Copies of this chain bind each other. A is one copy, B any other.
Amino acid sequence: MASKGGLAIGDLAARTGLAVSAIRHYETVGLIAPLRNAGGHRRYGRADIRRLSFVMIAQRLGFPLARIAEVMAGLPEGRPPTREDWAGISGAFRRDIDARIAALASLRDKLDGCIGCGCLSLDRCALYNPADRAGQRGSGPRYLMGDAVDG
């Protein structure tokens, strides 16, 4: 492992638990920008471990990579990010999480009400309130609130 010139992608993978292919993918979507050595191999620095850590946390919280990249664009370019930098960008996530929790709780309560009364009909059910139905457009997978559900 090259330690003076930075970590090789395999080393970074071992440290973060991510797959090498995943790290390369994060680069293509703009989450990290490693240097290259003479032979064209990627070399990562200490700050990159932290960046990936943050990506992993944000993902667990249910944020798509595009959103994470957006938020991480707020980190400084030249210098390594400080604790304050991280705290700043995580604030944006906090607000999102709080909103998602509230939405989930509200839906749960409505589910109870609707199923309980047996309405389950489009004209009256609170769950169908059009005002509630946020952006439901486009194709591809829908990212709904909360963590991934597994059976």
Residues of A within 8 A of B (CB): 14-17, 19, 21, 46, 49-50, 53-54, 56-57, 59-64, 66-67, 70, 83, 86-87, 90, 93-94, 96-98, 100-101, 103-105, 107-108, 111-112, 114-116, 118, 120-122, 125, 127-128, 133-135, 137, 140-151
Picked from B14, B86, B120, B146, the residue with its CB within 8 Å of the CB of A143 is B14
Q: Please give, as numbers and ranges, the residues of chain B lying within 8 Å of A67 by CB-CB distance.
A: 149, 151
Q: Is the CB of B122 within 8 A of A16?
A: yes
Check B17–A62 contact: CB distance below 8 A. Answer: no
Copies of this chain held together in the complex: 2
Instruction: Give the contacting residue for A122; candidates B49, B66, B105, B116; CB below 8 A.
Output: B49
Structural contact, B147 and A103, CB atoms closer than 8 A: yes
Q: How far is the CA of A140 from the CA of B17 in the complex (A)?
A: 11
Partner of A145, one of B17, B50, B111: B17
A19 neighbours in B (Cβ, 8 Å): 140-142
Contact B49 A118 (CB under 8 A): no
A61 & B111 in contact (Cβ 8 Å cutoff): yes
A98-B108, A148-B137 known; A121-B83 Cβ under 8 A: no
B62 lies within 8 A of A149 (CB):
yes
Asked if B61 contacts A104 (CB within 8 A), the reply is yes
